[in-house]
A and B are shown apart, each in its own frame.
Chain A
Amino acid sequence: MRLTDTIQFASSSLRGSPTRTVLMMLAMSIGVAAVVVLTALGEGARRYVVNQFSSLGTNLVIVLPGRTETAGVGPGMMTGQTPRDITLDDAEALLRSPAVSRIAALTVGSATLSLDALNRDVVVLGSTPSLLEVRHMKMALGRFLPPGDIHDSASVCVLGIKLKQELFGNDQAVGQWVRLGDRRFRVIGVMASQGESMGFNTDEVVIVPVASAHQLFNTSGLFRVLLEAKNRDYIEQLKHDAEEIMFQRHSGDRDVTVITQDAILATFDRILMALTMAVGGIAAISLAVAGVLIMNVMLIAVAQRVKEIGLLKALGAPGRQIRNLFFAEAVLLSGIGCLAGLALGYLGSAVIGQIYPNFPVSPPWWSVLAASATALGTGILFSVWPARRAARLDPVAALAGK
């Protein structure tokens, strides 16, 4: 029997029981669509995080107090003892590395920001002028922290755009004085809106010189030092240099953690990838269910068409041909169901993309491939038994409908 005839005959038997066929294809397509949409979401989450990270700066090496063995997320928090501070002098010393292009020291705390009768609690970032370039931030008005000695505790501040709106409305802010805790600061600039990045809304922070922040919070340790490598190739060297410089300065103690942005990114990437695959795998179970349904339907089809099978045998069809006919039915069922599912999945992803434009949803190629393969695979696998059963029917008994 020719292939085209086999396919035509199989599709005619599918058309012979349209309701059943449509329901089967629906089951298959929902399974495929679920895999596609869920992995698209997972992939979207992964890309979202990657984008967020790159918006934080590029080629970054981060030095933070405390030592953790695994270069994971949030080091220092797990270890019990308070680590030795990283001081401003340490930060300056890090500039000695030939691999570094810029550094930004960072201290974080909170204080009450007030102007006349208005006041609110804000996050205060103590930092250095390079922060602007290192973190790829933009100014809306005025200028950023002035260059100068890192120990210089000038009473100037830069406001996030939202704070400026809250305090000054549309009035002139640059040049005005505000109060942070018990100290007065002159506003020298306003940050442009940066939006949310890594859960840190820069629109609602006040940035002051790092030395001023230390006085304000009565500390001397840095929260973090951000080092920007000259380019991508210098990242590892810079990490190594930073470790060595801190090692020398802390008299032979390895009590700081140096991580590269790439390493954090890779960790997130791995986690989210695993998550995506897990979610996709769970959705794939629905495909296996669809496969079992196909088996069930094929068994019913074999039972209902015993006489037809007997006839085909009487007309000279060998068992192999009968088997191929039922195989072809299963492949058509799962194949068309799979195509419909892919269409449905892409449509679903597009709709989600419309609703959350910031979230880069797109089905990854491997999930499309895996979903299709699973759909066709289960369809074929689960039709083996019914098809063999049909092929082995005794023609005389089959013709009699037994």
Chain B
Amino acid sequence: MIELQNVSRIFSVGDQEVAALRDINLKLGDGEYLSIMGPSGSGKSTMLNLLGLLDRASSGNYLLDGGNVTDLSDAELARVRSEKIGFVFQSFHLVPRLTAAENIELPMMLAGIPAEERKPRVARLIESYGLGARADHRPDQLSGGQRQRVAIARATVMNPTVLLADEPTGNLDRTTGWEVLKLLEGLQEQGISLVIVTHDAEIGARARRRIHMLDGRILSDESSGA
């Protein structure tokens, strides 16, 4: 359960101030499926980064599972990210010199989980994401769809409660994009919260809850009955 209370994010560019988010109030329940849409520059990515605790609000409060995490230290935020949040990026962000399996293993390695425990978890994910033959391939030997599947496996390997995806299909062709979307939706059905930022109205419309943004504000917040 995530709650943003009167959150603003203001960037200073030279002597100018750019308000990327203005006075946002938002509640995200566990297991929700939310899409964020809006024109370029409306603040979608900024919102996602804030939700993912990668960025800090200029003002306002962030409550996570009832606790206020607004003033946690960087190290504490990193810990929360490690345990509760998974990111999926438009450009995949795989480490080029590591194999698919090693990329998936990375969050567990950073969290200090022993190798014996890591290997079976990676193996299971590789199997269930249909990457079996690709486990030892490096990112440049994989197709876009395969790369994004590796990235999704990496995002879920720590069993997060929230999955944040910023235009996850943006770099993929239509068919592959749909496959990746189906994968993400499957995860949501298993109980994870899914937030997708997208430009694609068709994709955005699939979410049970849809937010439209404009100029740093939430323009509309619609939910369709389950």
Q: Which A residues fall within an 8 A CB radius of B? A: 1-2, 5, 9, 12-13, 15-16, 307-308, 310-321, 395-396, 399
Q: Which residues of B pack against A, CB within 8 Å?
A: 49, 52, 54-55, 74-75, 78-79, 81-83, 85, 87, 89, 93, 95-98, 106-107, 109-112, 114-115, 154, 158
CB–CB B74/A318 < 8 A: yes
**What are the 6 tightest A-B residue pairs by CB atom distance, in nearest-first order?**
A316-B82, A318-B78, A318-B75, A16-B97, A316-B81, A315-B107
Which listed residue (B89, B96, B158) contacts A316, Cβ 8 A?
B158
Residues of B near A317 (CB, < 8 A) are 78, 82, 110
Whether the Cβ atoms of A1 and B95 lie closer than 8 Å is no
Q: Identify 11 residue pairs between A and B in the complex whose beta-carbon atoms are under 8 Å apart, listed by A's number.
A: A12-B97, A12-B98, A312-B110, A313-B78, A314-B93, A316-B85, A316-B107, A317-B78, A317-B82, A321-B110, A399-B93
Q: B110: which of A308, A316, A319, A395 is its contact (CB, 8 Å)?
A: A316
Q: Which residues of A contact B112 (CB under 8 A)?
A: 1-2, 5
What chain B residues lie within 8 Å of A12 (beta carbons)? 97-98
Contact A2 B114 (CB under 8 A): yes
Across the interface, which residues of A come within 8 angstroms of B55, CB to CB? 395-396
A228 CA / B114 CA spacing, docked (Å): 72
Contacts of A307 in B (CB 8 A): 93
Q: Is the CB of A15 within 8 A of B97?
A: yes
Which residues of A sit under 8 angstroms from B96, Cβ to Cβ?
16
Contact between A316 and B111, CB atoms less than 8 A apart: yes
Complex: A316 Cα to B106 Cα, angstroms:
10
- Shortest beta-carbon distance from B104 to chain A in Å: 11
Q: Complex Cα distance A395/B81, Å?
A: 12
A315 near B75 with CB under 8 A, answer no
The answer to whether B81 touches A315, judged by C-beta atoms less than 8 angstroms apart, is: yes
Instruction: From the candidates A2, A9, A316, A399, name the one contacting B78 in the complex (CB within 8 A).
Output: A316
- A316–B52 Cα gap in the complex (Å)? 11
Q: Pick from B49, B82, B115: contact of A315, CB below 8 A.
A: B82
Chain B residue, CB-CB nearest to A392: B74
New A-B pairs, 16, CB < 8 Å, besides A15-B97, A313-B81: A5-B109, A12-B97, A308-B95, A312-B106, A313-B54, A314-B93, A315-B82, A315-B107, A315-B154, A316-B81, A316-B83, A316-B107, A318-B78, A319-B75, A396-B49, A399-B89
A308 to B102, CA, bound (A): 14
Interface of A (DSSP majority class): helix
Summed over the interface, the residue pairs from A and B with CB atoms below 8 Å come to a total of: 69
Distance, CA A318 to CA B82, complexed state (A): 10
- Give chain A nearest CB distance to B185 CB in angstroms: 22
Nearest-Cβ distance from residue B109 to partner chain A, whole angstroms:
5
Complex Cα gap A399–B107 (Å): 16
Contact check, B75 vs A320: say whether CB atoms are below 8 A apart.
yes
CA distance A355 to B111 in the complex (A): 56
Decide if B95 touches A395 in the complex (CB within 8 Å).
no
Q: How far is the CA of A12 from the CA of B110 in the complex (A)?
A: 15
Distance of A321 Cα from B111 Cα, bound (Å): 10
Report Cα–Cα, A384/B94, bound state, in Å. Answer: 26
A13 engages B97 (CB within 8 Å): yes
Q: How far is the CA of A16 from the CA of B140 in the complex (A)?
A: 14
A308 proximity list for chain B (CB < 8 A): 95
Least distance between B43 CB and chain A CB atoms (Å) = 13
Complex CA–CA separation, A317 to B54 (angstroms): 11
Q: Which residues of B contact A321 (CB under 8 A)?
A: 110
The answer on a CB contact under 8 Å between A314 and B54 is yes
Complex CA gap A344/B226 in Å reads 72
Which A residues touch B109, using CB under 8 A?
Answer: 1-2, 5, 9
Residues of A within 8 A of B75 (CB): 318-320
Given known pairs A2-B114, A311-B95, A314-B81, the reply for A319 and B74 (CB within 8 Å) is yes
Closest to A4 in B: B115
CB distance from A315 to the nearest CB of B (A): 5
* CB-defined contacts of B52 to chain A, threshold 8 Å: 314
Q: In the docked arrangement, what's the CA distance between A321 and B112, Å?
A: 11
Tell me the complex Cα distance, A314–B111, Å. 12
Q: Say how far B11's CB is from chain A's closest CB, in angstroms.
A: 10
List chain B residues, Cβ under 8 A from A316.
78-79, 81-83, 85, 107, 110-111, 158
Contacts of A1 in B (CB 8 A): 109-112
Which residues of A sit under 8 angstroms from B106, Cβ to Cβ? 312, 315
Contacts of B115 in A (CB 8 A): 5
For residue B159, give the distance in angstroms from its CB to the closest CB of chain A: 13
Q: Across the interface, name the chain A residue whose C-beta is closest to B111.
A: A316
In the assembly, what is the distance between CA of A130 and CA of B95, in Å?
A: 82
